[in-house]
Structure 1
């Protein structure tokens, strides 16, 4: 045998031996007492080195076969290793705390220098440590592990090392780790800490799970391989799941270093609910100066409630404080409140334009879970602000709902329903504000006792038919109210006795319904109302001062009235079938006519025997005497009783018009269409009145135009004429219009309002019908579709790109479907009423008032969004208010711009910031408001 053949045989024998060792090792565990450091001078001879190199090259070529799969391995002894005997003895002197398990999907190779090579998704486990990589080299003597990824057939690195322990998961390019000392060296680390990612650099892992890094990057962009921005960290110390402390760092945006640097940084991480500092926003105004705004401290009080205290301060003296809290308790209640105090200083002290304004705001929303208490409920909706708060608060400028709100209402209510009884009691506190003139209407407390409808004469165990008296029902409502209407600055100066109004009212209605002649419903009724006051205002004429004098008398006073009535109502149905020559599409038209007539009567509670109305004699400057009638209770909480007898007969009629048409879209083949949902009109005649016996005519109409869009209008028609009195003022006279030849009535007031929202789905149905009509299922169409499909997928590379791009949708023709979400909302109202008096026609001229507001938004792309809202003033014929906004999603950043282009509050605001709450202070704000518009004189 030639020497050359001997060498080949030797190489083959060594390879087979190593391969067998590897295969047998994959079913054992390693329990070696210790792995000593690598001995550098243990080097095999040249022949062995050459053969080993050839073997390794051969193994590398075998790694390219992805179908080979070798089961995981575990080694419990190194008895078959080629380690010298002294090496084995030295390793027994010191040991690991636990066993080391490892496996590989491809192969594991052991070499004579006590090295193990694992290929193909290798995994090494030691206690709570796990190391995954496509290639792992483990030294049995030194407890050292080196892991690295390997290139695939395309040259891309796959199977990069992934290190896992209790502190987290870390990916890197290369990793060297010592199981014994628990220290390691990592290059190009990738790990998520908090809301961001820590990447790059050279990292040293310590035995206490801390990391020391040089030239690292920190970013909150989830595309951490190529982030849109990051902070370049020259040096950093990382405490996983706790914080990162850095030395000098600077910002890099789109791979361009920016001159934005910090000498040191601290990034805390926590999964727990905790308190912390709220960083302020910096800006400037021409009127109030430079400012720090919305900075403060956040208190994590408990799992159920929090509190954020923030403030703002300006260099020219203005300042403000704000407190905001959210609270919730599952199955009990939830809510939030916001309280703010703002001091605004404008101008220079001592100058004529100097102003100092103090404003206050309180908002509170509370709701109770229905499961908390089935008998008692508590709710609050408080929105109280002083008149100047919204004008001086920067955040209100770009909130059109808040900034254009002329009235604000607040209500706090608690209701208790008595179990197994038709009785409930509620208490309410309410405040209504008019920001236009700073008027407050406060009602507190407001108690209401309500007894729902009961049938007092109904038998508990009825036998036979229902008796007539069992149909009699009654209910009761009692109200106690204490209220005041005053100016905002006078509220706390008001006197509870002198300025506040209070009173009680009891209402007891009794009614029943009987059927007469099968088709007519007769409903008699009786109502009693009692008002209780603690004071009355007596009036008299002072001839010396030539004026009316008022005197308030305190005591207990009852003001009551009652009335009775009866009404009759029925329904009449009419059907009409169109003539045959008009077609057979319409099957039937139905008309429902509902007439009703009622009578109500009441005595004259203005007579002297009741004492609810008084009379005093007034003497004018010419010495003429005039009797003035008044009620001492007219300014009471619930008013007073009316004068004069009442014997009112009322007539009312309502109409409903519908038709049935044939339809293929309905399962029954017939579709019902409403032509007029309701058309009603009514008038009354007071037989007991001395004059003006006819009332105005009230009418209304409701038409359902489309689904979700109705036209509703009500109108009042004046039935009497006018003339001038002795003072030259127009007054209503007892001459009906039909007697004066002016028709039955004149339109005195009417109005309607509607709103509609247009969006992508508005015309969706029409597009579907067009598509269905234009769809051709013939052979020619099939041939065209096939050719288009062939064109679409002609390029396999484009096909793969389309499938991977989930943001795109393609139609049958291969073109991308263009989707632009948009909406446009329109709110319009128009009202007609009496305006100025026309002395030539002796009639009031009509006056039309209109209001138009509209808002909309559009998203031309996934990341761009535009929105606006505006209102139009028809009197001035110009836009009264407009607010526009633009937002842009910059992946890990967000940008927004708001501006008010017209009106007295022209302003703008630009904001760009990182989305992550951790880096929320990494932002830029620029704004300008109405105070910045300097006026030069």
Structure 2
């Protein structure tokens, strides 16, 4: 055999020997793969992307490798070929894979490239490059630069404590400890980044030179706290040593000796940090600080307080409660003591005020037959003026009345009956007047047909159309001052009574086109007292005496009315074009008659009279009702035999549609034009009533013009004292027309915004598009784009239109509310007529977003009598991503003030803020 043949034989024998050993190893250890000997594996070869590996034990104290001590114990080789070692390796299996390649070395090291993944005992490590030492059970992960030099595939470590991204990572499988550089992990609402970090086996971290921020742009945050050293307990808390503030990469001279940032996913109690500030009149203060009680999953409680260096203080309790599918609500109780001036000096004052607010809503799913609702907003007269929370609320100062209502209603199932109890409190803050009504009980029965047959046979009888209903009320009320409510007497000062009303009606159809309605109404009032009046000749005044007992004050009346509808059509002449197809007029006349006896007659006892001699020696008789002060009033005087006339008009037009040549559309010219007047045949004088008119015109889809007017039908003269009195002479009898305008008014509101003129823009855009189509050299456009805005590539904030230019649009809106009223003013003795007087009110409100993050809004009202702005409130806000800034100011009026606030958005760092206030207390007059 030649030397060349011997070389090939030796080479083949070595090759088959290595192949034989490799096959035996695969048969004994399925965790090894035949692909482990490959130096490179294609990225798309799935057969080499999952390589489970039984990690060997760590080296013993002698440094002898125990790689295959256990895995090769049953090998076909001689038992003395591999020394036996003590079992001290990992019991769990480490799974690893890579998309690009996996390289093994003789030093028992594994190199993984291209999205490598290592999983072990609930731990997962992802990186673009991973190095694993099977002898020391250690793994090292790092990212790799791409073609442009950017680092991709940074290490991401996941375990039960959370997810952590880093620049480099060392980890030991056995000790479960690691060393991390430039870590990025989310803890609570914030991010922990940077620094050198040691991971302990109990999942705690020790960090040096780290950063903590709530800005989600954690790679380059707008602000952060630079932590010199910190201990991190994932999902629990962070405890730091000295830390200082960095804003926009600029270190600020704001430092803290230590910090504690708790994290919890559970509902828990905690301390509410106060806000620091100063006020010229009341001094420096700490406010809105206290403790939050997480009572349970259904109710909470926040107790806060405020204290000023010059003696003022206050406490507040807020609670929210909810029971799913049953009810929800909020309670807010507050008490403040305000001290101004120096004790012993004339300017010293001490005021105590409180607030009670409660809202309650019941879910209809809880009980469809019973409901409880509450809307309570009660404050003493000086609370809003002295509370900082409400001081910068524009609505708190512009509203003159506050109302509170608590209502409970029960509806009887399968019955027209319902019962309700209500408590009402109306508060006029201008003069601290209270109108309290409690308790109010109501019993009502819906419409029923008492004569309707249960089993209908044949045509409906006329009496089956009769329907009736019932409502009964009990009311107990008082009108008094705020400081007198607790001193009032329930019997003498409170007014109470009961009210019953039973309406009965039926509607019939006569002669096919005439609707006839007959009705009868009975009203009863029950009082426990009446006020008698008499003339005291010695004191020359009226004296009143309250008589207690049970009194019934009732009245009734009957009415009969008829109405119909008349239609008129008008087709314009063709010489005026064919745009207008037809005009339709709907005329609805109504005539009714009502009659009632004179309930002021002496036989009823509802009215009385007293007489006295005036300064001219004349005997004057004054008629009054002892029940006029009752909660439900009294009955009217005089007989009634009234005939009422009313007309209603509607005018519409059909025109050809601009969009569809074959279609038509309807336009409302006058939605409603009505007038009504009555004549009382049973009255001794003043038989004609005033003429009431109203008109409603729909100008646009969202804008209506509505106006009502009252026309006076009688003339005036001067009595012997020189005062104008209405006399029994209708105006048409003296040649002054049917009536004179005595009162009218209208109001309208409209909002202008970006969409107001959009239709014109769309029309111009469509014309431009047609012109471009007619031009052969015009640039091609996407037929599907239309007028839609296109996003600029790489910048979602910039939008482009079909012409290729960026769209410059600033969202804005302006709301205008205007009302004007006309009424009688002073009396003109020469013309024997009242002079007219106009009253106007104008209010404006609007907002504008100058940029995506800047916004400005305002509200103002104008006083036409004083010819100046009565009130104005302006607000400016700036969204700074993870920060927010707002400034509000009242530039004119008695409530001149300003408020500046800047804070972090995160609720975790809500105390990282700055506030500056200025109010009317600071506007002192110096002498």
Confirm or deny a common fold (TM above 0.5): yes
Check whether the contact 2:275–2:289 (CA below 8 A) recurs between aligned residues: yes
Tell me by how many angstroms 1:426 deviates. Answer: 1.2
1:315-326 matches, cutoff 5 A: 315-326=309-320
* Cα distance, 1:678 vs structure 2: 0.6
Gap change, CA 1:602 and 1:533, over 3 Å in 2: same
Q: Determine if contact 1:307/1:323 at 8 Å carries over to the other structure.
A: yes
| 3-state SS of 1:466 partner | coil
In 2, Cα distance between equivalents of 1:29 and 1:615: 117
Question: Offset of 1:919 from its aligned partner?
Answer: 0.7
* Mapped partners of 1:845, 1:307: distance in 2: 60
Please state how far the C-alpha of 1:322 moved relative to its aligned partner. 1.6
Q: Deviations over 1:278-301 (max 9, x none)?
A: 111111111111111111111112
Correspondence 1:566-715 to 2 at 5 A: 566-620=560-614, 624-665=618-659, 669-715=663-709
Aligned ranges for residues 356-755 of structure 1 at < 5 Å? Answer: 356-620=350-614, 624-665=618-659, 669-755=663-749
Structure 2 residue aligned with 1:861 = 851
Residue matched to 1:826: 816
Please report how far the alpha carbon of residue 781 of structure 1 lies from its aligned counterpart in structure 2 after TM superposition: 4.0
The whole-number CA distance in structure 2 between the counterparts of 1:583 and 1:693 is 50
Q: TM-score, normalised by structure 2?
A: 0.92
Q: Which residue pairs with 2:51 in the alignment?
A: 73
What residue in structure 1 maps to residue 786 of structure 2?
none
Tell me if structure 1 keeps the 8 A contact 2:165–2:183. Answer: yes
Moved more, 840-849 or 108-117: 108-117
Shift of 1:67: 6.1
Cα distance 1:802–1:519, how it changes in 2: closer, same or farther (>3 A)? closer
1:555–1:76 Cα change, 3 Å: same
2:28 & 2:705 partners in 1: Cα distance?
Answer: 83
Counterpart among 274, 293, 296 of residue 290 in structure 2: 296
Contact 1:25 1:75 in 2 (8 A): no
Q: Which residue of 2 aligns with 1:45?
A: none
- Report Cα offsets for 1:291-347 as digits up to 9, x if no partner: 111111111122122222211111111112222222222211122122222222221
**Could you tell me which residue of structure 1 aligns to residue 333 of structure 2?**
339
**DSSP-derived class of the 1:153 partner:** coil
Per-residue deviation, 1:788: 12
Residue 218 of structure 1 is matched in structure 2 by: 212
Residues in 2 aligned to 1:665 and 1:68: alpha-carbon distance in whole angstroms:
62
The equivalent residue for 2:148 is 154
After TM superposition, give the deviation of residue 26 of structure 1 in Å.
14
Give the Cα–Cα distance (whole angstroms) in 2 for the partners of residues 885 and 818 of structure 1.
24
Counterparts of 1:786 and 1:421 in 2: how far apart (Å)?
A: 71
Quick one: structure 1 residues 587 and 483, their matched pair in 2 at CA, closer, same or farther if it must change by over 3 Å?
A: same
Q: Is the 8 A contact 1:26 1:74 kept in 2?
A: no
Q: How much has 1:219 moved relative to structure 2? A: 0.7
1:910 aligns with 2:904: no
Q: Secondary structure at the match of 2:219?
A: coil
1:360-417 superposed Cα distances (whole Å, 9 cap, x missing partner) = 2222222111211111122112222222222222222332222211111111111111
Distance (whole Å) between structure 2 residues aligned to residue 26 and residue 354 of structure 1? 99
1:510-563 C-alpha deviation (Å, 9 max, x unpaired): 111122222211212111111000001111122222222211111110001111
Counterpart pick for 1:929 among 895, 912, 919: 919
Quote how far apart the aligned CAs of 1:91 are. Answer: 5.7
Q: For 1:174, which of 168, 179, 186 is the aligned residue?
A: 168
CA contact (8 A) 1:27 1:74 kept: no
Q: 1:276 to 1:732 in 2, by over 3 A?
A: same
* Structure-1 separation of matches of 2:291 and 2:143: 47
**What CA distance in whole angstroms lies between the structure 1 residues aligned with 2:66 and 2:748?**
97
Q: Which runs of 5+ in 2 are unaligned?
A: 70-82, 784-789
The number of residue pairs the alignment matches comes to: 888
Aligned equivalents of 1:21 and 1:822: distance in 2? 77
Please say if residues 29 and 74 of structure 1, whose CA atoms lie closer than 8 Å, have aligned partners that are also in contact: no
Corresponding residue for residue 322 of structure 2 = 328
1:121 aligned residue:
115
Task: Determine whether 1:355 maps to 2:345.
Answer: no
Query: Aligned pair in 2 of structure 1 residues 416, 665: CA closer, same or farther (>3 Å)?
Result: farther
Larger displacement relative to structure 2 (195-204 or 102-111): 102-111
When structure 1 is superposed on structure 2, of 678-687 and 803-812 the one drifting more is 803-812
* Partner-residue secondary structure (3-state), 2:779: helix
Contact 1:520/1:569 (<8 A) preserved: yes
- 5+ residue gaps, structure 1, are 32-55, 790-799
Quick one: distance in 2 between partners of 1:683 and 1:779? 64
Is the Cα contact below 8 Å between 1:28 and 1:77 reproduced in 2?
no
Query: Quick one: distance in 2 between partners of 1:831 and 1:132?
Result: 75
Task: Give SS of 1:334's match.
Answer: strand
Task: Give the conservation status (yes or no) of the 8 Å contact 1:851–1:872.
Answer: yes
User: Matches of 1:406 and 1:381 in 2, distance apart?
Assistant: 17
**Residues 1:660 and 1:104: Cα distance change in structure 2 (over 3 Å):** same
User: Is the 2:341–2:347 Cα contact (8 Å) retained in structure 1?
Assistant: yes
Distance 2:114 2:504 in 1: 90
Calculate the TM-score normalised by the size of structure 1.
Answer: 0.91
C-alpha deviation, 1:110, in angstroms: 2.2
What corresponds to 2:89 in structure 1? 95
Q: Quick check: 2:791–2:798 contact (8 Å CA) kept in 1?
A: no
Q: 1:167 to 1:829 in 2, by over 3 A?
A: same
- Give the distance between the partners of 2:692 and 2:570, measured in 1 at CA: 29
Quickly say closer, same or farther: Cα 1:299–1:917, change in 2 above 3 A: same
Cα RMSD of the aligned pairs, angstroms, is 2.8
- 1:761 aligns with 755
Q: Secondary structure at the match of 2:295?
A: coil
The separation in 1 between residues aligned to 2:805 and 2:560, in whole angstroms, is 72
* Cα shift at 1:787: 9.8
Q: Secondary structure at the match of 2:689?
A: coil
Write the mapping of 1:764-775 to structure 2, written as runs, cut at 5 A.
764-775=758-769
Counterpart of 1:311 in structure 2 is 305
Matches of 1:101 and 1:351, distance apart in 2: 84
Q: Which moved more, 1:525-534 or 1:130-139?
A: 130-139
Q: Distance in 2 between matches of 1:492 and 1:431?
A: 14
Which residue in 2 is equivalent to 1:797?
none
* Equivalent position of 2:800 in the other structure: 810
Q: Distance in 2 between matches of 1:644 and 1:803?
A: 83
Measured after TM superposition, the shift of residue 265 of structure 1 is 0.2
Instruction: Provide the C-alpha distance between the structure 2 equivalents of 1:379 and 1:549, rounded to a whole number of angstroms.
Output: 44
Contact 1:29 1:100 in 2 (8 A): no
Q: 2:178 aligns with which of 181, 184, 190?
A: 184
3-state DSSP of counterpart to 2:460 = coil
Bigger CA drift: 426-435 or 165-174?
426-435
**How many Å apart are 1:27 and its aligned residue?**
13
CA apart distance, 1:611: 0.8
Partner of 1:695, secondary structure, is: coil
What is the CA-CA distance between 1:675 and the residue it aligns to? 0.5
Separation (CA, whole Å) in 2 of partners of 1:418 and 1:633: 34
Deviates more, 1:97-106 or 1:721-730: 97-106
The 8 Å contact of residues 560 and 592 in structure 2, kept in 1 or not, is answered as yes
1: CA distance between counterparts of 2:693 and 2:54?
98
Does the 8 A contact of 2:613 with 2:620 survive in 1? yes
Once the two structures are TM-superposed, the CA of residue 107 in structure 1 deviates from its matched residue by 2.2
Distance 1:548 1:86 in 2: 119
Distance, in Å, in 2 between the alignment partners of 1:366 and 1:675 is 45
Q: Contact between 2:426 and 2:435, CA under 8 Å: does it hold in 1?
A: yes
SS at match of 1:785: coil
